[in-house]
Chain A
Amino acid sequence: MSRKRLYSALALLALVTGCSGNAAADDAAKLSLDAALPTSVPDGTKIVVGDPATQVALKLSGQLDKVSKFVQFANLSGGPQTTEAFRAHALDLGSVAEIPPIHATWTGLQVKIVASKFRKDPLNHPIYQLGIAPGVSVKTLGDLRGKKIAYSPGQAQGALVLKVLQKAGLTKEDVKLVELPSTGDVYSNALSGKQVDVAPIGGVQIKRYLTKYGKDGATTIPHGIRDDAGHLYGPVESLEDPGKAAAIRAYVAAWGVAQDWIDKHPKEWIQGYYVKDQGLTEADGQWLVDNAGHPDISADWSDAIERQQQTIELLAKETGNKVIQAKDLYDLRFQTVAADAIKGGAK
């Protein structure tokens, strides 16, 4: 009697603690990574995409129903969250900067970049500035010697710090690197609390930091390095599934058109994304749009691959990982997809 109840309870426990691995084993024929991309998306295909900003852009521009049949959006982006979801087989595409694809490869996850976006005139439209703590005097990169700098390995901000040191002709021994992950407002708080002297801060954080702590002597300086890479990347296993590969191709095309739409409709973008979706003020949105400049989505990735190779070599040297080939990170079958879609208008 109680034995029976015990068994049923144990079954319930097993159910709840969920040993329900959601590895959807595909028995379909694998698509090899050098086979031509299938162009029609079979019915019933589903890809999960972590690209929240583009989701809003597609909605605002009325393009959402082009992809909604086979795309399910997840609200994640950035390296740590997307790689975690890739490992859980819960995501097929993620939107990240330059470093996560490299890091994912180093940690044994096979990924490929399928779309890349840069900025026109990148040195005058950087994503990051070097935030300088109140009361610390740093006017040029050379002044960084001996300073405490926030450093986050595995994130774009961390790689940027290494590039800045390289540019200033300094080594890691000339400064004091403080390991600190850059999430949310951690870096601007660390600066204002004088926990670090220098930290790369991006986007609205720059504006907030200066308005809040400018009167205490907080400043920012430009670093003069390209930091404008933005990629869509996904796990190789998704690209080996013919249905998913076709869906990813269709999504990349829609993504390209959406980036172009954002560039041509700043007013709608500020209202619909920055104000309504992200809860910022109109002034913040305007500031972000002005600072972003215009997107550069090229049909030729060779320059991007070369720049990424330099980043890999610098990171490998500093972190003790082995040098990998940047061209292996890119799935060149997608090279022209986004650019062609923009040229051809919305197909």
Chain B
Amino acid sequence: MSATALPGLRQRTSSAPVVRRRRLGPGKPIRFGAAIGPVLLLVIWSVGSATGWIDQRVLSAPWTVVTTAGDLIADGRLQSNLWTSAQRALIGLALGIVLGVVLALISGLSRLGEAVLDGPIQIKRAIPSLALLPLLILWLGIGESMKIVTILLGVFVPIYIHTHNGLRTIDSRYVELAQTVGLSQWEFIRRVVLPGALPGFLLGLRFAVTGAWLSLVVVEQINSTSGIGYMMELARTYGQTDIIIVGLVVYGILGLLSDAVVRLIQRRALSWRRTLAS
């Protein structure tokens, strides 16, 4: 493009023999690209705190958060709370994955199953798990089972939706092939359905892992004596903003890490795919 080109005038293409094609894909991956966004956030936060543009009382400075986290680690509060939270989240997640996959299989492979299950699950999807909490307390009391079930309910829906969708979009050629070679129902599920639904399942899992951490903060405000959510709620009662932000940062890191793990699994498990992203 020359700067003096008049509008409406067609550019004369240079008479180079090689015609360069425009790239339509995003191109080569940037090294450590995943870290750029979070690091940029951290830089803005630090600079803002150092210049006083961010009020310390409204948002503690990153170094305050680090020293507070150091204190919490020193007296063991952070680790023990983190451990409790992690246990709850993982149990809820594991149960939610099993439930989500089983329901997706039933509803994906049988018309009756779909007729019975799909509607209620879509209804459940429209109801926030946290709004169900008062009912769950009435049904399950205030113990650990109520907390696990709340997490489970938040987790199984994305797993179900994405697995079901992945399963339904399996190419019919594979189904025909399976019938031709005479696979049994179970073999068909193991060799065709599960691998075929895997991309969908893993996408659902990405939603589910962060969802599990999200539900924690709310369930841990009820009859808990430990957990990150409990630690934050206690800090709220006493106006300890820095501890609240430590909790938020921990949640952020946990979410980022668990998402990274799932993406790693995705890359490994789906290495056979040739897509835009590769």
Contact = CB atoms under 8 A, between A and B. Distances in A.
Contacts of B99: 12-13, 16
Contact of B142 (A16, A90, A208): A90
Interface residues of A, number: 45
Interface in A164-189: 183-185, 188
Interface stretch (B34-42, B110-118, B172-180, B248-256): B110-118
Interface string A299-317: 0000000000000000000
Contact of B238 (A21, A90, A284): A284
Q: What is the interface of chain B mostly: helix, strand, loop, or mixed? A: helix
Nearest to A84: B137
A6 B139 contact: no
Contacts of A280: 238
B86 interface: no
A280 to B, nearest CB: 6
Nearest to B140: A18
Nearest to B224: A75
Nearest to A204: B238
A22 interface: yes
Contacts of B202: none
Contacts of B275: none
Contacts of B205: none
Contact of A18 (B106, B112, B149): B149
A6 B116 contact: yes
A10 interface: yes
Interface of A: 1-3, 5-6, 9-10, 12-13, 16-22, 50, 52, 74-76, 81, 84-85, 87-91, 183-185, 188, 192, 203-205, 208-209, 212-213, 278-280, 284
Interface of B: 57, 77, 95, 99, 102-103, 106, 109-110, 112-113, 116-117, 134, 136-143, 145, 149, 152-153, 185, 222-225, 231, 233-241, 243
Given A6-B116, A88-B137, 17 more contacts: A2-B113, A13-B117, A16-B99, A18-B136, A20-B140, A22-B141, A74-B142, A75-B223, A75-B225, A81-B222, A81-B223, A90-B142, A204-B237, A205-B238, A208-B238, A208-B239, A213-B57
